[in-house]
Amino acid sequence: MKIATFNINGVKARIEALTTWLQDSAPDVAVLQEIKSVDEGFPRQAIEELGYNVETHGQKGFNGVAILSKFPLEDVTRGLPGDDTDEQARWIEATVIGEKALRICGLYLPNGNPAPGPKYDYKLAWMERLYTRAQALMALEEPALMCGDYNIIPQSEDAARPDAWIEDALFRPESRAAFRQLVNLGFTEAFRARQQGAGPPACRFARPHGQAIGRDY
């Protein structure tokens, strides 16, 4: 199963680029971040015409995540558990019914800047909830993947200029420790499984890029 993650940064403005990419790259599942659209305004018809099932968790003008799948999607849930007052659309889950069922979690982790401050506090609190949800997924002992825009620079070699990020929320020790805590639950970080050390320039952090961690049984 070919799975891709894509920060689209406004799906309606980039629907032509998205459909072209879907046709050229042909992922079985695509997980989108920053769709910046309410659910009813999402341009699903153009995507469904390419053979994808579409599930969204949208928000007007900000955030928003989606899962596009050539396979059926079941048990769809929206919103990261743990805070009923959180109105930001940053988390969606669904089970992809392929040859082997896979729980896909699409996320758009808060940026957290400026740090320190309320936005950084929200980022760390969100990551605590993410850790709790990850623990629950592990306890199910079923294949699971958490992918999307983590807004984290896990290692210094992931930045073209590490010194420029020292005080940034993406690179602060607390952020990196919270990410490592997730991986240490027993997940595999997809990028590191295939690339040790610095990746090619397009994979380094000039700005946040997609990451994925998963567990297979």
* Catalytic residue IDs: 108, 149
Q: How far is CA 143 from the centre of its chain?
A: 17
Q: How far apart are CA 120 and CA 111, in angstroms?
A: 8
DSSP letters, the chain, are --EEEEE-S-TTTTHHHHHHHHHHH--SEEEEE---S-GGGS-HHHHHTTT-EEEEE--TTS--EEEEESS-EEEEEES-TT-TT-----EEEEEE-SSS-EEEEEEE-----SSSSHHHHHHHHHHHHHHHHHHHHHHHTS-EEEEEE-----SGGGSSSGGGGTTSTTTSHHHHHHHHHHHTTT-EEHHHHH--S---GGGS-SS--EEEEEE--
